[in-house]
Amino acid sequence: MSEYHVPVLLHESVEGLAIKPSGTYVDCTFGGGGHSRLILEKLGPEGRLVVFDKDEDAKANAPQDPRLHFMASDFRFIRNYLKFLKIKEVDGILADLGVSSHQFDTPDRGFSIRFEAVPDMRMDKNAPLSASDVLNGYEQEELARVLYQYGELNNSRRVAAALVAKRPIESTSALREALAPFYRKQDEHKFLAVVFQALRIEVNDELAALREMLSASQDLLVKGGRLSVISYHSLEDRLVKNFIRAGNFSGQPEKDFYGNPLVQMKAVNRQVIIPDEEEIKKNNRARSAKLRIAEKL
């Protein structure tokens, strides 16, 4: 299997789909293809797998298999692309929401604090907005919003003011230098990771895309179909948890005239599934992963 990305919670997430050999499935985040390859192993000749990835580098990992359809697109457009393929319903949808190892480990993509690079962080390299655009072009208040909303920084206004004062910020080292007054040495990695997360979410519009995909899944899944989602931070996990619980993102289900909750999904795993110590030891990037599985009622 390609080392482009080490799949997280591989067997747990695919087993959660309860795959039928003749079924139709979607892998929303193809990446290195690890989850997709395991799905294909479980599918028979009549099965179908539609995969999405907006990073053009991922397409090189797609196996030559007539059952697989590669969509070079954001998974937020899942409804449109399935309609294009004349697929009305699917038996399962999987999404691993993490940044791929390839993206983190390619210096010029600007995803990692480990490398000297222009801050970029675009998953789709043709997208118009980069992290550099956010850092150098956003008004101070808007930059503070990004840091607070997506990084949950309580001192977001002060951090934004410091970043604006250091413009232009044209490298990861310049970004680190601008942020240096806000963390102790022992907290450096954690603080920088939160700032990089906030910028990445803004650049790729990640939470809006997730909401769109989850909403579409409710219509696309057959009765008894499964949704299997791996998230990596609380903002993602909260959306997934609330959606499974309530069918919306507030976490409070709508009710009918008699006060009965109107829900279309039920949780398969009552307790969130996390990687065991052995997996984390092999792949440290799995340490924050949480898997939630749901079934359409």
Q: What are phi and psi of 189, to 5 degrees?
A: -60, -45
Residue 214 lies in a domain: yes
In the chain, the number of structural domains is: 2
Is residue 290 in a domain? yes
On whether both 190 and 255 belong to a single domain, the answer is no
62, 33 Cβ separation under 8 angstroms: yes
pLDDT at 258: 83
Contacts of 89 (CB under 8 A, 6+ apart): 24, 220, 221, 222, 225
- Which of 173, 204, 235 is at the close of a domain? 204
Both 165 and 227 in one domain: the answer is: no
| Cα(94)–Cα(278) distance, integer angstroms | 23
Query: Is residue 289 domain-resident?
Result: yes
Q: How much is the pLDDT for 99?
A: 87
Total-model pTM:
0.94
Whether residue 3 lies inside any domain: the answer is: no
254/130 same-domain check: no
Neighbours of 68 (CB within 10 A): 21
Shared domain check, 29 and 151: no
Within a domain: 122:
yes
Domain-located, residue 153:
yes
Looking at the fold, whether 290 and 176 belong to one and the same domain comes out as: no
pLDDT at 3: 62
- The pLDDT assigned to 237 comes to 97
What are the residues whose beta carbons fall under 8 Å from the beta carbon of 138, sequence distance 6 or more? 146
Count the helix, strand and coil residues of the chain and give each as a percent rounded to the nearest 5: 45, 15, 40
Q: What is the pLDDT of residue 110?
A: 85
Q: How far is residue 219's CA from residue 88's CA, in Å, rounded to a whole number? A: 9
Asked if 89 and 232 sit in the same domain, the reply is: yes
Domain end point (choices 204, 224, 249): 204
80 and 220 share one domain: yes
- Are 218 and 88 found together in one domain? yes
Q: What is the pLDDT along the chain (297 residues), one digit of tens a residue?
A: 446 778 999 999 999 999 999 999 999 999 999 999 999 999 999 999 999 999 989 999 999 999 999 999 999 999 999 999 999 999 999 999 988 878 888 888 988 888 999 999 999 999 999 999 999 999 999 999 999 999 999 999 999 999 999 999 999 999 999 999 999 999 999 999 999 999 999 999 999 999 999 999 999 999 999 999 999 999 999 999 999 999 999 888 888 888 888 889 999 998 999 999 999 999 988 999 999 999 999
Token output for 141:
């208040």
Residues 230 and 155 in one domain: no
Quick one: pLDDT at residue 1? 40
Tokens 């990835």 correspond to 53
Return d(Cα 4, Cα 6) in angstroms, integer: 7
Q: What SS3 state is found at 127? A: coil
In a domain, 2, yes or no: no
- Residue 210 belongs to domain with CATH number: 3.40.50.150
Are residue 19 and residue 95 in the same domain, yes or no? yes
Q: Look at residues 187, 204, 221 and tell me which one is the last residue of a structural domain.
A: 204
CATH of the domain at 165: 1.10.150.170
- Cα gap 279→71, rounded to integer Å: 30
**What distance separates the 2 farthest-apart alpha carbons in the chain?**
60
Do 84 and 44 lie in one domain? The reply is yes
For 50, 69, 79, 155, 179, the CA distances from 84, given in Å and listed in that order, are 12, 12, 9, 46, 46
Could you list the residue range(s) of the whole structural domain that residue 58 is in? Answer: 10-101+206-296
What are the φ and ψ backbone dihedral angles of 223, each rounded to 5 degrees?
-60, 130
Q: At what angle do helices 172-179 and 188-204 cross, to 10 degrees?
A: 120
